[in-house]
Amino acid sequence: MTIVEVGPRDGLQNEKAAVSTADKIEFINRLTAAGLPIVEVSAFVSPKWVPQMADAAEVFAGIVRRPGTRYAALVPNLAGLDRAMQAGVTDIAVFAAATETFSRKNINQGIEESLAGYKTVCERALAAGLRVRGYLSTAFGCPYEGAVPAVKVIDVTQRLLALGVFEVSVSDTIGIAHPGQVRQVLEDLVAIVPADRLALHFHDTRGTALANVLAALPFGIATFDASAGGLGGCPYAPGAAGNLATEDLIYMFDGLGVETGVSLTALVEASAFIADRLDHRLPSRYFQAVRRT
């Protein structure tokens, strides 16, 4: 299994407490030392809208890049891509949505307009030798439109792949997915899109993230996003847990005898480091069990 660590970006971007550039760099270096193969470092977005990501270039300049580990950044447009390339980023991600309303609320663009913009981003990035990943938000439910038909998920997934992304991370943005729904969506999606071109991004808002991972395994999904300590809240469910915690996922995979290459002990130490810089406890169940404070 491949774990994509999204804590430094998707996790920290929602934090109210200011995290220094030096602490972000140390956090990422510790995640690297834990053996995580892919770390999403930051996002080259407007500091006005996401102030926690304002130091993206400085963070990339300061981290120790281990051979064999990939370091990614989210980019929304050509300006973000240019900044990312200047920072020496080799892996980028673009983000679309399965519902029109969420797309407009999230990035102030409809689905068609966003994909048209990403076409130019992908063309330039691929021509420069960068690897491009795609995110698909609200694949299991939308805070504005409710249930999302599988046909919409399939359509935007295929269109992202047509832009040249190597993989689409199908995302449960509001943490509403349950195992039965995961099976239903994947039955339709994997019938058209090869499983090795898909990843899954679950939130644990309703406590079903690990169960959703188990439901996805029979479909051949082998890449999952997770966030150290469970960093990252859900803006549509205030007070709820955010991303699937990397510790919880690794603990489950270790118990199943599934190889990830990640040291759970080192991962906990990385999470403990960043926990001391925040104003709340980390939601990871495993972290809480072994680091009672």
- Annotated active-site positions, please? 234
CA distance 272 to 266: 10
Do the Cβ atoms of 228 and 267 come closer than 8 Å? Answer: yes
Residue 36, helix vs strand vs coil: coil
Residue with tokens 């926690």: 52
Question: How long, in residues, is the chain?
Answer: 293
Do the Cβ atoms of 225 and 201 come closer than 8 Å? Answer: yes
Strand spans (E) along the chain? 2-5, 38-43, 70-74, 91-97, 131-137, 167-171, 198-201, 223-226
Question: Tokens at residue 124, please?
Answer: 């330039």
β-pair partners for 96: 136
CA distance 39 to 182: 25
Residue with tokens 């804590």: 7
Question: Tokens at residue 58, please?
Answer: 């400085």
CA distance 154 to 57: 34
Do the Cβ atoms of 200 and 212 come closer than 8 Å? Answer: yes
Residue 196, helix vs strand vs coil: helix
